[in-house]
Amino acid sequence: MPKFAIKFNYSSASWARMLKFSDDRTEAVSALMEHLGGKLDAMYWEVEDAASYVIGDLPDSVSAAAAITAATRTGAFKDVQVHQLLSQDQLREMVTLARSLEHVYRPPGAAAMDRDDI
């Protein structure tokens, strides 16, 4: 199952609510991910940006987009970034696949660059 890292920057209103009510944010995120067929691995808070990082598994990018849409529609976040992560094995597969494309893909303008009269 694909692994995602999601960064949320909280709005000032969200921080105000967190100072008033100290409920468990990981419970809400875990329930959301499990409902989508995924699993929360970890959730961390960053000091510098007052942001939260969620790392977990989701079935696909559509599920990740649905999770983000559900969370951001509340107005609790200023910015959300989603990144699909690759394992070491997936990185090896990607490199092998990219190598196999060396003779298939030629960037636009490459033929002009290959000419001797330029």
Assign a CATH topology to domain 3-106.
Answer: Alpha-Beta Plaits (3.30.70)
Q: Mark the ranges of the chain whose per-residue pLDDT is less than 70.
A: 114-118
Check residue 75 and give its pLDDT.
83
pTM of the model: 0.79
How far CA 54 is from CA of 44, 58, 66, 104, in Å, comes to 7, 12, 15, 37
Which tokens is 106 given? 């030629």
| Order of all β-strands in the sheet with 77-85 | 39-46, 51-57, 3-10, 77-85
**66 phi and psi, to 5 degrees?**
-65, -40
Check residue 6 and give its pLDDT.
94
Check residue 103 and give its pLDDT.
84
